[in-house]
Structure 1
Amino acid sequence: MTQAELPLHTPPSQSQGHQHPEKWSWYHYFWYNTDHKVIGIQYLVTSFLFYLIAGVMALFMRAELSTPDVDLLSPELYNAFLTNHGTMMIFFWVVPAAIGGFGNYLIPLMIGAKDMAFPNLNAIAFWLNPPAGLLLMISLFFGGAQSGWTSYPPLSLITNNVGQSLWILAIVLVGSSSIMGSVNFLVTIFKMRVPDMTWDNLPLFCWAMVATSILALFSTPVLAAGLVLLLFDINFGTGFFRPEMGGNVVVYQHLFWFYSHPAVYLMILPIFGIMSEVIPTHVRKPIFGYKAIAYSSLAICIVGLFVWVHHMFTSGTPPWMRMFFTISTLIVAVPTGVKIFSWVATLWGGKIRYTSPLLFGVGLLAMFVFGGLSGVTLGTAPFDLHVHDTYYVVAHFHYVLFGGSVFGIYAAIYHWFPKITGRMYNETLGRIHFVLTFIGANLTFLPMHELGLKGMPRRIAMYDPQFTTINQICTYGSMLLGFSVLPFMVNMVWSWMKGQPAGRNPWRALTLEWQTTSPPAIENFDEDPILWAGPYDYGIDTQGAEEETVEEMLEEVKAEVS
């Protein structure tokens, strides 16, 4: 008996559902559609394509950095790849996958709604992304934006004007999409929950999306304003950021980082919500500290708006400002630590099943904690003054965002793949994918700490020969990291077509999305879903708890025999 064939524990009212309506055909996913599930898949697939493009750019950059001299990419092309790699990974992969992809697909299902509050606004928000990505790719044919993903003036004012302008328009489009999506998420969660779902039994992923949406609504317009002003300076002769015309380049930095540091939390808060769904399900234990995790998301949302100046400690900030933002940066680590502690406490003593979602979740814990520790050092002004704009920052950034966000996205894909496709993935390929990704990520980014401490500046194609050996290690790691995507892609495509049927609830999870069919019907539920248990009441006196325990014992015995 396979895991997918185990009996399901659904409440009596759900055991005799009606025939679900006709499913969407494949071509509906390539056109305008207001179904939140279709939009979620559109976000996931589109963002993954940009992830592949950005990854290829990273491989070219690492190949260039394997030697100290220019031998593969010209300095101009290296700068363009550097800018577009960072931009795509943040604005076109992590943010749309974590927020747009899983947010759209899961939130109505988790709260028992038939769709998002504003379906057409939801569809429009997605369809702003493909033309934005197209603008970004077209910019490469005009020399590309060459001032890095931060696009600081005066550098962004004196490089390629066409490429830089196309870059700005692309970011404004995805920013507009983010604002639309945030409004939709908040209204949906506040107004469309099933009557029995109070804030005390709302899934933690929904709590995380509330905090993410509030943060996006406060911070994204500030970035858009700064970029529009920069666009005017580049094309229309204004002087907002031109010192020779009375402008101030530091003002741009404030506008940019007021959004772009909270953007780190925009990328990681949904992942925190995913972790809170994956871990208790695969260790069969109630989540430790439900309210602490929920409220800590709101705390990160609030405190995260007051830490942006730690990116500007070398920009002439006065001592009092350095002190204030050093303290606020250290404070924001507290609610994050609360989440880490709660997840570890949930793992402790649980009936751990080493599935691919849990492996990526535990890998995320290791990578994110390590990256968080280096982030604490960067948040203190005295240390930051010495390593600012070195590879130490690159190492920290990638441990937090790749080790955090990308590992979390992989965990979510494996966890909800049976629900999205109705089929089980191949566990062996999933574990191979995890091992290659974990080793490749650490081999690529861990040596960068030493590069930074020895003084190698980031964002350069040529460097002192003393750094050659460490750079070559990073390059080999990046090749392994690039190769790790292949078993994942094979697994997803093959399993989607030929995988074993998953059934309604292969993980025996308790949140509402597992009460409907796999994949869900067009209107999500054949009957109104019933809150027959809390979202994390594993092992507590819930319906079917005894039978579930027997099944788990049988499953373990069969695993040992095999």
Structure 2
Amino acid sequence: MTPPVLPSAVPRPPGELDRLERVWRTPRGWRLVTAVNNTTVGLLYIGTAMLFFLLAGILGLLMRAQLAVPDNTLLSAATYNQVFTMHGSVMMFLFAIPIVEALAVYLLPGMLGARDLPFPRLSAYAFWAYAIGGLGFFCTLFVGLAPDGGWFMYPPLTGEAYSPGLNADFWLLGIGFIEISAIAGAIELIVGILFTRAPGMTLARMPVYAWSMLVVGVMIVFAFPAIIAGTALLELERAFDWPFFIAARGGDPVLWQHLFWFFGHPEVYIIFLPAAGMVSTMIPTIARTPLVGRRAVIVALVGVGFFSFGLWAHHMFTAGLGVVEAGLVSAASMAVAVPTAVQVFAWIGTLWRGSVRITTPALFLLGFMFIFVLGGLTGVMVAVVPFDWQAHDSYFVVAHFHYVLVGGMVFPVFAGMYYWLPLVRGHALSERLGRWVFGLMFGGFNLAFFPMHVSGLLGMPRRVYTYPSGLGLDGLNLVSTVGAFVFAAGVLLFLGDLARTVRRPQREPGNPWGAATLEWLPADCYAVRSIPQVDSAEPLWDRPQLADEVVAGAHWLPGTATGKRETIVTSPVAARPLYLLVLPTDGWMPFLAALGTAGFFLLLTIEWTITAWACGIGAIGAVLAWLWGQDRPPPAAVARVADHLGPANLLPVGATGTASPSWWATVIMLVVDAGVFLAFLFTYLHVSMRLDVCPPPGSRLAQPWWPALSAALLLASAGLMTVAWRRPLAGSQSALRWLVAGALAGMAASFGLDVWAQLDARLDPVAHAWGASVAGLLAYQGLHVALLAIVAPYVVARSLRRRLGPDSRATLDNSALIWLYTAAQGLVVAFALHVWPRWMA
């Protein structure tokens, strides 16, 4: 379905563009915090992530200044521990992950030809929670409360016995909710990529960058729950003395390593793959030819994502793994190099086939390939178990992961800054200064980190604040320090040029690089004037007149069909237009919800319990307030979306059930939820398998009729909710309200019986890790029952206010999904606690 070419002189209905601009207008001044448009939120996101990059870089310079000469006293041992912990934590959690999501929030709607992502308020909430919480976390450095256990926070050194005070708690609670913010962003990106692509943009035609972000979004959904569960377990140990990681009471410190690195090693590829997607987008433009092996590159992206989950024990070769386990992980660590190499050879082939013009983005991309390949080679070296035994926890590993992370992510990000900055205000950064920036950063980086390979092989350990003279390390460390400051000079020069450029008057950017992707179409606050029909993988190359057609309103949705913000939802594979999605407008609720969330976690850390819970309740109230107005009947049953397309002109407005983006967002959220639960379950099984007798002395298994009755109540609750879910919503809804109330009563009674059964079995979560793991499972189930105690009244309230109907049933649909998941989780808990131990005995 290709729309006819309409010359730009063909007039559109009077006032159409003015209405479109009015609906999408961005708030100004202090009201900017209410904005939810992807361009505004994306720029704020990028700016905040770059701020954390600078702050972490300053901490890195302090470390290098301390290590420049032997026996230095610039920093004390305690201060150095806080500095290196914050450097790693800020770089990994507050820069690396947020910057890739920030760039995606800003770029993807334009690349996909959409007006915006499907949940703009979720993007705004994710940003503000990250920004407020992250700045609060960083400020702990100035009051002596910064964490000092390393960015990996290994117990038992981070337990209460060895790390008293609040330092470790700030890391555990702060990082935990920042990861929740990252998951919210991932849900937004997955649903947006699958359902809001321009008509005709099939998966085969989708930009490689969008493919990379889709893979990364799925990886976040499966990897991040482990670190959320791990931080919760360690905080429970510190706060309530539940000994999950205390060996003397049945715990296992290595359990933390399993949970942390199941997140931590995929995280390396979560950082790299978006950068690889950007490289695969920029290199064809720079070489002026399509990407060589495009399909192979996409398959390689998926392959890297798949292999990354088999590598978590790559960091645990010295932790006592068995020979078979170490061999399998070593093989997987080498195998992941294959799909990575496919991408590198595709980039080289594209540059070889094309006609390359050496610009600043091209220099950064060439520098990226050189540095990243070196990092990949040392990665294969540390995948060899005997070599890893020698190099583990030495500066060789520090050099390796900086070559991978800085080379694999920072250099492509800077290439992207030079490449995409014209989209912001129409001006490119200086090419002359850009070459200096690249030279300083490339030279400084290699000067700083290449000598660390040698110092590591000479025996310099990681995480030491000083070293004696005479070990052959003096000159190497001094050179590394000089290189770090040269690299910083390049970053400083970039910032100066950036400040100069963004202050210039705004203008239309055009397509300065001659790119093929849709983000270079003329755009405003409403994105493109009309959503283009896409018929190839390089639309701007294959259809040179597309920009004029889009500006003329010759494609889909040239105005606002309902008087509100809208975008077109298309089918996930073929990108056929399905319906018009009405998007939420600007508002205070995402900001207030984020402020309450950050306040809850940060104030709970300093034990301002009442104030923290007030912030938490406020956050829940803000979320409910923003959801209250979302699920309304559409303003029109059908809308005119493309006057020139004849019968295809009309699309329905809104959708329910599995056709709704909110349904799929709920499903993805429940997958995340299940991941956290499985981490708790893994903890329980891991601790149980270490026991000589299960349950341990002092505890016993509950009487079997208690769990049987609890399971029956769970099934009854799920059945009542299913009946309520299946009832027609036309007419009276009093029966629905009673069914929901009965379902809540059954769920609460079931949980009460579970708790009573464990009390009757003399469960003591303090005495032994097994009791703590049981209590952890019950607490997680209890958290869900508490959530349903909020969901059920909310559903009843919407019913009473007549906000549930055949065309506005998303609240009921999504609540039923959460309800059925909670019931299923409760049944698994019952089986794990009562059937599995008897079966194993």
Who is 1:418 aligned against?
A: 422
Matches of 2:540 and 2:299 in 1, distance apart? 19
- Provide the residue aligned with 1:529 in structure 2: 532
Asked if the contact 2:208/2:280 (under 8 Å) is kept, the reply is yes
1:28-74 superposed Cα distances (whole Å, 9 cap, x missing partner):
68513211111111111001111111111111110000122141011
Q: Check whether the contact 1:68–1:461 (CA below 8 A) recurs between aligned residues.
A: no
Distance 1:29 1:335 in 2: 46
Query: Partner residue of 1:86?
Result: 88
* Match in the other structure for 2:217: 213
The answer to whether the 8 Å contact 1:440/1:481 transfers is yes
Query: Which residue in 2 is equivalent to 1:495?
Result: 501
Report whether the alignment pairs 1:77 with 2:83: no
Match of residue 407 from structure 1? 411
Deviations 1:417-436 (A, max 9, x none): 00122222211111111111
Provide the residue aligned with 2:368 in structure 1: 364
Identity across matched positions, percent: 37
Give the residue type in structure 1 aligned to 2:140. Answer: S
The alpha-carbon deviation at position 446 of structure 1 amounts to: 0.3
Contact 1:98 1:270 in 2 (8 A): yes
Q: How far off its partner does 1:451 sit?
A: 0.6
What does residue 184 of structure 2 align with? 180
Q: CA deviation at 1:492?
A: 1.0
Q: State the distance in 2 between where 1:43 and 1:14 align.
A: 38
Structure 1 CA distance for aligned equivalents of residues 440 and 391 of structure 2? 30
Q: Which amino acid aligns with 1:530?
A: Q
Between 1:88-97 and 1:78-87, the stretch displaced more is 88-97
In structure 1, distance between residues paired with 2:428 and 2:117 = 27
Work out whether residues 42 and 103 of structure 2, in 8 Å CA contact, stay in contact via their aligned partners in 1: yes
Q: 1:91 to 1:374 in 2, by over 3 A?
A: same
Tell whether 2:45 aligns with 1:43: yes
Deviations 1:300-348 (A, max 9, x none): 1111111110100000111111100001111111111110000000000
1:263 pairs with one of 263, 267, 287: 267
**Is 2:225 the partner of 1:230?**
no
Offset from partner CA, 1:269-296 (integer Å, 9 cap, x none): 1000100111111110110011111111
Q: Aligned partners of 1:143, 1:472: CA distance in 2, in Å? A: 30
Letter in 1 for 2:476: I
Q: Is the 8 A contact 2:208 2:277 kept in 1?
A: yes
Give the letter aligned to residue 232 of structure 1.
L
Q: What amino acid is aligned across from residue 64 of structure 1 in structure 2?
A: Q
Instruction: Report the Cα distance in structure 1 between the residues aligned to 2:505 and 2:5, rounded to whole angstroms.
Output: 28
The aligned amino acid for 2:362 is: L
For residues 488-544 of structure 1, what are the alpha-carbon distances to aligned partners after superposition, in whole Å with 9 as ceiling and x for unaligned? 111111111227956321112111111123xxx122011222326532886xx6547
Segments of structure 2 that go 5 or more residues without pairing to the other structure are: 547-841
Cα distance change on mapping 1:137 and 1:490 into 2, 3 Å: same
SS at match of 1:73: coil
The separation in 2 between residues aligned to 1:469 and 1:324, in whole angstroms, is: 39
Corresponding letter in the other structure for 2:316: M
Letter in 1 for 2:513: W
* Corresponding residue of 2:333: 329
**Matched-pair contact (CA < 8 Å) for 2:201–2:536:** no
Equivalent residue number for residue 123 of structure 2: 122
Matched, 1:512 2:518: yes
How far apart are the structure 1 equivalents of 2:163 and 2:266? 27
Return the offset for 1:25.
5.8
Does residue 347 in structure 1 map to residue 351 in structure 2?
Answer: yes
1:54 aligns with 2:56: yes
1:47/1:29 Cα in 2 relative to 1: closer, same or farther (>3 Å)?
Answer: farther
Cross-structure match for 1:21 = 21
Q: Name the counterpart of 2:833.
A: none
The reply on whether 1:279 has 2:283 as its aligned counterpart is: yes
The residue type equivalent to 2:449 in the other structure is: F
User: Equivalent residue of 1:200, what SS?
Assistant: coil
Report the RMSD for the aligned CA atoms in angstroms.
2.0
> What secondary structure sits across from 2:416 in the alignment?
helix
Residue 311 and residue 52 in structure 1: after superposition, are their counterparts in 2 closer, same or farther (change >3 A)? same
Amino acid at match of 1:334: V
Of 107-116 and 255-264, more deviation after overlay is shown by 107-116
Query: In structure 1, how many angstroms separate the alpha carbons of the residues matched to 2:8 and 2:213?
Result: 31
Distance 2:115 2:28 in 1: 21
Secondary structure at the counterpart of residue 375 of structure 2: helix
Structure 2 counterpart SS, 1:45: helix
Which of 144, 147, 168 pairs up with 2:146?
144
What's the secondary structure of 1:155's corresponding residue?
Answer: coil
2:137 aligned with 1:132, yes or no?
A: no
Deviations 1:220-278 (A, max 9, x none): 01111001101111221110001122110001000000000000011111000100111
Match of 1:557 in 2: none
What per-residue deviation string (whole Å, max 9, x for no partner) do you get for residues 424-458 of structure 1? 22111111111110000000000000011111101
In the alignment, does 2:66 pair up with 1:64? yes
Flag as ranges the 4+ runs of structure 1 deviating above 6 A. Answer: none
Contact 1:64 1:72 (C-alpha < 8 Å) held by counterparts:
yes
1:510–1:533 Cα contact (<8 Å) kept: no
Are residues 45 and 175 of structure 1, via their aligned partners in 2, closer, same or farther at CA, if it must alter by over 3 Å? same
Task: Check the 8 A contact 1:77/1:143 in 2, yes or no.
Answer: no
> Which residue does 2:173 correspond to in 1?
169
Aligned pair in 2 of structure 1 residues 34, 544: CA closer, same or farther (>3 Å)? Answer: closer
Structure 1 residues not aligned, in runs of 5+? 1-10, 546-562
Write the distance in 1 (CA, Å) between the matches of 2:416 and 2:153. Answer: 32
Taking the TM superposition and a 5 Å limit, the aligned residue runs for 1:444-483 are 444-465=448-469, 466=471, 467-483=473-489
Counterpart CA distance in 2 for 1:285 and 1:51 is 33
> Helix, strand or coil for the counterpart of 2:318?
coil
Conserved in 1, the CA contact under 8 Å of 2:445 and 2:487?
yes
8 Å contact from structure 1 (residues 515, 529) kept in 2: no
For the residue of structure 2 that corresponds to 1:503, the secondary structure is: coil
Does the CA contact (< 8 Å) of 1:145 and 1:160 recur in 2? Answer: no
Take 1:414 and 1:46, find their aligned partners in 2: how far apart are those partners?
18
Cα offset, 1:108, TM superposition? 1.1
Distance 1:63 1:511, change over 3 A: same
1:171-218 per-position Cα deviation (integer Å, ceiling 9, x unaligned): 111110111111111111111111210011100000000100000000
